Structure 1
Amino acid sequence: MANLWQVMVVGLMYFCTWLKRSLEQIQRCLSFKSSLNWIEFRQADSDAVQEDSDNLQSDTWRTNQEYRTYRHQSNGPMVMVQTSTHTFYVDLEKLADCSEYFKALSHSCMRETSERLVHLEHVPSQVFHSLLQFCFLQRFCVPEDLLVEHLRALTERTCLGYLQLAEELCSEELQETVLTYLSKYLLEHPHLSKGLNPHLKVELLRLRSKGTPHLCCLRKENLTSRNDPETDAARKLFRLEEDGDEGKWSSCTDLPFCADKWCFTTAVLYNYLYLIGGYRHRVKKGYEFKMASFRYNPLTNQWVSTAPLIKHRRHFSAAVCEGKIFAVGGWYLDSLVTPDSSTGVYTAVEKYDPWMDTWEFVSSLPLTDFQFSLSLSHDSPLTTSLGHCLYVLGNIQRTGEKLVLRYDTRQDCWCELLPTLTRSSAELPILHFLGAANSQLIVIGGNNSETMVTSFCVDSQKWGRIRAMEKTTLIGQGTVLHNEVYMSGLKDNSVIKLNLHSLSLCPFPSLPVSTCYESLFHLYF
């Protein structure tokens, strides 16, 4: 029995040591400067321990003012602190030792100091009571269901401390709360997630894409040289809202610039929308195009400016691969004039690092003895990603063949994937869309009489069966999700969904603005 008692005592002392470290971590997270006063471990009367525990857990302080009064041995000046539902009477000097906020308040000439009344109505009374219990009595007891409310004040400065505390306490709820905060501001505070364990970084990305993706749309190019209601209405980001069986488009936010002419390409990375390109703005001698890039966070509904492209590009493709954005092709962005026979596709390829907010050049397109045709109905050349590689599809100007180029992002090198798709195999002078689904490239194009869908297996380097469907005019930048392609059309300001298995078309409600040259993508809100 004596040995058993010794084991119990050692176990209890170990628990107290663990609890002490945890409370000291909480102290650091809450910016408390005063050290905790610890009593020597000793055998105590069980009834006294039980009584103390009952007082700690009770809500007597809500109805008894005496339990909301906190004095200290120094008998310093008392202040009244008004929180959300209750008023507390607190020793200001002691509170100043525990909190930088109250320290600054005690040395200031603010009205709160002279009147001995501090208004903190935005702070929940339960949270402030827990703070006082910890500051004056070194007690910390917060029920799990109130943990999130106590952590509302998560900030850039304290979140990593809370994350360490969650690991020490093995608290899944606390960890999820901190990770949710970090994921919400992933690229706003990139230094916070830089040193996290790999599995936590994966969890941050999962949390950013939690829920149901929403189909979104914006006008990526506008050529109207005037400011009118139509242009103002088109300068918005739209989201498809579920409304019964039909749904409707609603405006999420205005685009982050004011111009009558613009040309952008979109890319979605880590559930951030990137708007990359430029717009026309007035200068002393008229107008010129300004390169600009923006990043939209759907979780905060905020736009920020990011680094612009190095090259002035128009109608270029953007693809996301291996956590980077690649800008491919396009031609010179100047006055948005129609390209002529002398206009060629840019061979320079740029790569964007979202953590560093920088662009750099990588290996150029291998357009040495041929050129890709240009188009005003889609980006040139069409580009997508699969695995760790980029894939580019274009019409060879001389022959009309369809050629696939592959860029290995790890080796920084290009290669041609033969065979080409010849005109004898498919009369496909117009290309609308290139995407990836089921480890294959999906190609949609057409001619004057019909629209055709085919595929290309990158492993076997073989073209799939050519399938024809009714003539459908598709323009702009589309997206693919769950074997369905989403693109805009010219008819009735429509956005359509094309099932890749059945080739059936499903129209969505008309956009609130006329379709011109739209980009479609999915975001999690």
Structure 2
Amino acid sequence: MAMANNPPIREEAASVLPQEGRYVRLPMDQARFVSMLRVLRDTPSCESLCDVVVKGQEEDSVGIPCHRLVLSAHSTYFLNIFTIGLRECQEKEVRLKEVPSEVLKTLIEFCYSSDIIISDENVHALLVAAHFLDFRPVTNVCWEYMEKNLDPSNCLMTFCCPLTAAHRPRLTENAKTMVLKKFPVISQSSEFLNVNKDQLIELLRMDGLCAENEDEVLGAVIRWRKHDTDQRWPHIREILRYVRPRFLSSSFGQQYLCLNLFDNAPEDGSTANEETLFKLEDIVHLLESSTVGDESQRRPRKRYGCNQIIVCAGGEVVGITPLDGVHYFDPVSSTWTKKKSLPYPVFGAGLVNVDDEHLFVCGGYSSGDIHRNFLRRVHRYDLSLDVWSDVAPMHYDRNGHSTIILNDHIYVIGGVQGGTRTVLQAVERYDPAIDRWHSVADLLVPLYWFAAVAHNGGLYTFGGLTANGSVVSTTFCYDPQKNTWSELASMPTPRFWCTACVGPDGLIYVIGGRSTVQYSELNHILSTVEAYDTSTNQWLRKGSLNKRRCYVGIACANNKMYVLGGYREGVDSMEVYDDHSDRWTVHGSHLPQGMYNFGCTVVRVKPPN
């Protein structure tokens, strides 16, 4: 029997009308499918077409009308409860006691739109809910977000997340490493007060926990205990076994334990009995004994005894001559040490310390045509190996920019691009973990030769020059969570070639600079110092420098602020600030040579044996 020659099935454009006897398949692409779902959701009579109302865990949560079929298409959890004979198959209203209402609303919106907004504030809650409901695309994008955006503001929650430990062990280890490195800051956060006993012990037992001394570790334990005395008091003896008593200062340890450990301790016999309550002699024994706990308690933590060292790299001398020198200044011994030179001479480069193990030099000007030889180059210095190496270059070659470290990421802001001499608004961020730059929100105006610092989770810029050469006094702030810039109270003194630093009192100090582009006028080089209070958005006038300076290096080490070099007075001198007397004093030490426009940062290093 002869078979009819059926025509092949063909895909045609939607506008082609089918001819008699021909098969036509109209493709249903994702965009059209999503559009159809949105129409279904937004139709005025949508609720009459819905066959289920879903509610979150809160008793007063508002139900969300939706379609069983749409939910089942995205989630095997919904597919199962709607198809295998459970009571949810028939019920008009389904309550999910495990999922917060706001998170549930976000996931259902995703079902109808394929859009979802993920941020530090919701990623962990979304991950838990999406995993529970088996929204696999959302789960995957949450993992991707957490891996790409791990920083000190979210690493503790990532480390503590049970799902991360079960499904992303490498991410958990990376988060723990960051928590250990940033422990002094993280232990002051509200998130730290909510870690459980086992998570706290896991951190305390690590040699790599970074702290100035063991007194700081003990203080964190006591803050944690006070947050929930009734529940945590029975565990305090076990936890204290991981504090290293031989490295506590005895006066601090005994006084702090006596005054704070027992403050608000439970008095009922169920918790404060002989099994759980310390006596004073127990505390003294705990502090003085060298045999309590395991072997780790007899070892110092890795960061004990580190010195804060000021690092200066590159710079220039009169005559536009770039330098390649790298020098350490130890404020304790007032000595300079020469280190391995930069791979090339450069001035105007940004120098930042990421983790006390690596320094980065970004951009600047090298020898050659002053109008063209601006750099995109970025080099990393490994402190332990004493080696410089190339890393990914910036998107733009820059000079007159600012380079700031925030949450273990490097931000490069504004500046002038070589060749075209374009003043840049562009801001880019570098992730050292993946060696990659990407753009973030632009400055509100193009700007160069301004001061900048990181403080309280934000970036601040002060003064500078605009594209038309105007000297400004504007203050801008960047919020990395919102990826937005905003304008704050302006400085009293317009200036450029100035420098900024967070002082030991928490104020941001803006120092020196120039007030006019008439470079021949020495009197327009400033000794003026003004301080910005981020909590009040107000400026304060502070004691002036002893010498007029611009292009200076600045650093805060060992709770003192240092100004180094600068153009034009005191090019090889230093000044140190006393915040109690509000006075600057000329330091007895001098720079290895007179210089200015160099990179300057602070790093913690072990003193030589």
Q: What is the TM-score of this pair, normalised by structure 2? A: 0.44
One of 411, 419, 423 as aligned partner of 1:326: 411
Q: 1:214-261, CA deviations, whole angstroms, 9 ceiling, x for partnerless residues?
A: 1221223579688xxxx7xx42211125796xx33221112123x5x6
One of 381, 399, 424 as aligned partner of 1:346: 424
Residue 196 in 1 paired to residue 276 in 2?
no
Match of 2:62 in 1: none
**Matching of residues 354-393 of structure 1 within 5 Å:** 354-367=432-445, 372=447, 374=448, 380-393=449-462
Match of 1:295 in 2: 380
Match of 1:435 in 2: 501
Q: Quick check: 2:573–2:586 contact (8 Å CA) kept in 1?
A: no
Match of 2:94 in 1: none
Partner amino acid for 1:277?
Answer: G
Q: Quick check: 1:268–1:320 contact (8 Å CA) kept in 2?
A: yes
Residue 503 in 1 paired to residue 572 in 2?
no
One of 359, 363, 366 as aligned partner of 1:273: 359
Displacement of 1:432 in angstroms is 2.1
Match of 1:236 in 2: 325
Structure 1 residues 411, 253: CA separation in 2 closer, same or farther (over 3 Å shift)?
Answer: same
Partner amino acid for 1:503?
Answer: R
Question: How far apart, in 1, do the equivalents of 2:320 and 2:495 lie?
Answer: 31
SS of 1:296's equivalent in the other structure is strand
Match of 2:463 in 1: 394
Question: How far apart, in 2, do the equivalents of 1:208 and 1:270 lie?
Answer: 14
Displacement of 1:302 in angstroms is 2.0
Larger RCO: 1 or 2 (CA < 8 Å, sep 6+): 1
**Matching of residues 196-235 of structure 1 within 5 Å:** 196=173, 198-204=175-181, 206=210, 210=304, 211-221=306-316, 234-235=323-324
Match of 2:600 in 1: 520
Q: Quick check: 2:488–2:537 contact (8 Å CA) kept in 1?
A: yes
SS of 1:510's equivalent in the other structure is coil
Match of 1:452 in 2: 528
Give the CA RMSD over aligned residues.
3.5
Query: Which 4+ stretches in 1 moved above 6 angstroms?
Result: 222-226
Displacement of 1:457 in angstroms is 1.8
Q: Quick check: 2:562–2:577 contact (8 Å CA) kept in 1?
A: yes
One of 553, 563, 588 as aligned partner of 1:486: 563
Question: How far apart, in 1, do the equivalents of 2:484 and 2:586 lie?
Answer: 39
Question: How far apart, in 1, do the equivalents of 2:588 and 2:418 lie?
Answer: 32
Q: Quick check: 1:474–1:487 contact (8 Å CA) kept in 2?
A: no
Residue 315 in 1 paired to residue 404 in 2?
no
**Matching of residues 17-96 of structure 1 within 5 Å:** none
Question: How far apart, in 2, do the equivalents of 1:299 and 1:208 lie?
Answer: 14
Structure 1 residues 459, 476: CA separation in 2 closer, same or farther (over 3 Å shift)?
Answer: same
Structure 1 residues 421, 279: CA separation in 2 closer, same or farther (over 3 Å shift)?
Answer: closer
Provide structure 1 residue ranges, at least 5 long, that are not aligned to the other structure. Answer: 1-190, 335-341, 375-379
SS of 2:532's equivalent in the other structure is strand
Structure 1 residues 494, 223: CA separation in 2 closer, same or farther (over 3 Å shift)?
Answer: closer
SS of 2:376's equivalent in the other structure is strand
Question: How far apart, in 2, do the equivalents of 1:209 and 1:483 lie?
Answer: 20
How many residues matched? 301
Structure 1 residues 503, 400: CA separation in 2 closer, same or farther (over 3 Å shift)?
Answer: same
Question: How far apart, in 2, do the equivalents of 1:280 and 1:421 lie?
Answer: 32
Q: Quick check: 1:278–1:293 contact (8 Å CA) kept in 2?
A: no
Question: How far apart, in 1, do the equivalents of 2:332 and 2:454 lie?
Answer: 33
SS of 1:239's equivalent in the other structure is strand
**Percentage identity across paired residues of the two chains:** 18
Q: Quick check: 1:443–1:453 contact (8 Å CA) kept in 2?
A: yes
Q: Quick check: 1:494–1:515 contact (8 Å CA) kept in 2?
A: no
Partner amino acid for 1:506?
Answer: V
Question: How far apart, in 2, do the equivalents of 1:353 and 1:299 lie?
Answer: 21
Q: 1:421-446, CA deviations, whole angstroms, 9 ceiling, x for partnerless residues?
A: 35xxx5x5455222223343212236
Structure 1 residues 512, 305: CA separation in 2 closer, same or farther (over 3 Å shift)?
Answer: same
Match of 1:51 in 2: none
Partner amino acid for 1:445?
Answer: G
Partner amino acid for 1:464?
Answer: L
Q: 1:111-149, CA deviations, whole angstroms, 9 ceiling, x for partnerless residues?
A: xxxxxxxxxxxxxxxxxxxxxxxxxxxxxxxxxxxxxxx
Q: Quick check: 1:388–1:410 contact (8 Å CA) kept in 2?
A: no
One of 336, 341, 364 as aligned partner of 1:249: 336
Structure 1 or 2: more strand by fraction: 1
Question: How far apart, in 1, do the equivalents of 2:349 and 2:319 lie?
Answer: 15
SS of 2:180's equivalent in the other structure is helix
Q: Quick check: 1:239–1:251 contact (8 Å CA) kept in 2?
A: yes
Question: How far apart, in 1, do the equivalents of 2:376 and 2:397 lie?
Answer: 7
Question: How far apart, in 2, do the equivalents of 1:214 and 1:310 lie?
Answer: 31
Displacement of 1:399 in angstroms is 7.7
Residue 462 in 1 paired to residue 462 in 2?
no
Question: How far apart, in 2, do the equivalents of 1:506 and 1:194 lie?
Answer: 48
Residue 421 in 1 paired to residue 507 in 2?
no
Provide structure 2 residue ranges, at least 5 long, that are not aligned to the other structure. Answer: 1-167, 183-209, 211-300, 516-522
Q: Quick check: 2:315–2:595 contact (8 Å CA) kept in 1?
A: no
Structure 1 residues 192, 291: CA separation in 2 closer, same or farther (over 3 Å shift)?
Answer: farther
Question: How far apart, in 2, do the equivalents of 1:404 and 1:288 lie?
Answer: 29
Structure 1 residues 322, 503: CA separation in 2 closer, same or farther (over 3 Å shift)?
Answer: same
Question: How far apart, in 2, do the equivalents of 1:511 and 1:500 lie?
Answer: 23
Displacement of 1:400 in angstroms is 5.2
Q: Quick check: 1:263–1:278 contact (8 Å CA) kept in 2?
A: yes
Structure 1 residues 494, 225: CA separation in 2 closer, same or farther (over 3 Å shift)?
Answer: closer
Q: Quick check: 1:316–1:331 contact (8 Å CA) kept in 2?
A: yes
SS of 2:377's equivalent in the other structure is strand
Structure 1 residues 353, 198: CA separation in 2 closer, same or farther (over 3 Å shift)?
Answer: closer
Q: Quick check: 1:265–1:315 contact (8 Å CA) kept in 2?
A: no
Q: 1:474-509, CA deviations, whole angstroms, 9 ceiling, x for partnerless residues?
A: 424422232413332342522332334422223252
Q: Quick check: 2:451–2:462 contact (8 Å CA) kept in 1?
A: yes
SS of 2:486's equivalent in the other structure is strand
Question: How far apart, in 2, do the equivalents of 1:192 and 1:249 lie?
Answer: 43
Question: How far apart, in 1, do the equivalents of 2:441 and 2:393 lie?
Answer: 19
Question: How far apart, in 2, do the equivalents of 1:243 and 1:518 lie?
Answer: 22
SS of 1:201's equivalent in the other structure is helix
**Matching of residues 116-195 of structure 1 within 5 Å:** 194-195=171-172
SS of 1:345's equivalent in the other structure is coil
Question: How far apart, in 1, do the equivalents of 2:436 and 2:576 lie?
Answer: 35
Question: How far apart, in 2, do the equivalents of 1:456 and 1:242 lie?
Answer: 26
Question: How far apart, in 1, do the equivalents of 2:508 and 2:436 lie?
Answer: 29
Displacement of 1:396 in angstroms is 6.8
Q: Quick check: 2:565–2:574 contact (8 Å CA) kept in 1?
A: yes
Question: How far apart, in 2, do the equivalents of 1:361 and 1:310 lie?
Answer: 8
Q: What is the TM-score of this pair, normalised by structure 1? A: 0.50
Residue 412 in 1 paired to residue 483 in 2?
yes
Q: Quick check: 2:458–2:477 contact (8 Å CA) kept in 1?
A: yes
Partner amino acid for 2:453?
Answer: T
